[in-house]
Amino acid sequence: QLQFVESGGGLVQPGGSLRLACTASGFTLDYYAIGWFRQAPGKERDRVSCIKSSSDGTTYVDSVKGRFTISRDNAKNTVYLQMNNLQREDTGVYYCAAAFGSTCGSGAYWDYWGQGTQVTVSR
């Protein structure tokens, strides 16, 4: 059975931090690029970060640069998104996704998706 399970969402105040995690079962993340996507209320889903399958490259949208860090622990078959200095604009449902053989470039096909986890930044 193939699973990609998310955890770590929640409610935080502006300036706070959360760490999201996705853990794969039934497949190995080593050879997948991993993306984190965000769907804010009333907006379309955007990719906020990506890490290459080789773990030697990462990308971020401008709005999260310097605040978010994507990483992976292949031994745990898990990918993380560390989110610091969270702002209200970061509120949304976050999804992890895995693309086999991808380098985070255009045209990536996202084979597996997490179920989504809600991140709410509010006082």
Dihedrals phi, psi of 88, to nearest 5 degrees = -55, -30
pLDDT in tens, 72-91: 998 999 999 999 999 999 99
Instruction: Say whether pLDDT at 120 is over 80.
Output: yes
Overall average pLDDT of the 22-39 stretch: 93
pLDDT tier at 53 (50, 70, 90 boundaries)?
confident
65-82 burial code (b ≥16 CB/10 A, e <16): eeebbbebeeeebbbbbe
Q: Considering only CA atoms, which of 112, 38, 40 is closest in space to residue 49?
A: 38
The Cα diameter of the chain in Å comes to: 41
What Å distances lie between residue 77 and 13, 40, 98, 113, 118, CA to CA?
A: 30, 27, 12, 15, 22
∠ Cα 4 58 28 (to 5°)? 30
**Local confidence band at 55 (pLDDT 50, 70, 90 cut-offs):** low
Type of residue at 44: E
What percent of the chain has a predicted confidence (pLDDT) above 90? 80
Nearest to 115 by CA among 23, 43, 15: 23
* Confidence at residue 105, expressed as pLDDT on a 0 to 100 scale: 81
Mean pLDDT of all residues in 2-6? 91
Report the distance separating Cα 95 and Cα 108, nearest Å.
16
Please give the average per-residue pLDDT across 95-123, as a whole number: 91
Evaluate if residue 106 carries a pLDDT over 80: no
